[in-house]
């Protein structure tokens, strides 16, 4: 069993050496980095659009609750508006954090 482990670790070492030193591997890593950067840009723009859409939806919902719904007490309206405001703030923080991580 020990011999098998030694061979496995030796094979991993050889593979790592080849991965880090060969020209083909360097090209592959460069290609992977380029694809990762493109995908990060795509995700960043998609998340920005989603965040903007969500913010607009929350603002519309808040306006609707403030103006059109009758029968809710003032306390219930204030609580719902507070929840919507906090949701919008949390969404903004999440959007900022994701943008930072994807940059």
Q: Where are the domains of the chain?
A: 2-102
Please compute the mean of the pLDDT values over residues 40-46 and round it to a whole number. Answer: 80
Q: What is the structure's pLDDT at 62? A: 73
Question: Is 21 within 8 Å of 57 (Cβ atoms)?
Answer: no
- Separation of alpha carbons 48 and 91, rounded Å: 11
Q: What is the structure's pLDDT at 27? A: 82
The mean pLDDT value of the chain amounts to 76
Question: Is 92 within 8 Å of 55 (Cβ atoms)?
Answer: yes
- Separation of alpha carbons 96 and 5, rounded Å: 46
What's the predicted TM-score (pTM) here? 0.40
Cα angle 29-33-36, degrees, rounded to a multiple of 5: 135
**DSSP 8-state code for residue 68:** T
């Amino acid at each position: 069993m020990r011999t098998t482990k030694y061979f496995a670790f030796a094979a991993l070492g050889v593979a790592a050496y080849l991965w880090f030193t060969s020209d083909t591997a360097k090209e592959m890593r460069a290609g992977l980095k380029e694809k990762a950067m493109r995908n990060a840009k795509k995700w960043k723009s998609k998340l920005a659009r989603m965040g903007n859409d969500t913010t607009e939806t929350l603002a519309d919902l808040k306006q609707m609750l403030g103006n059109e719904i009758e029968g809710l007490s003032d306390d219930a309206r204030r609580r719902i508006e507070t929840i919507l405001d906090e949701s919008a703030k949390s969404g903004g923080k999440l959007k900022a954090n994701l943008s930072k991580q994807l940059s």
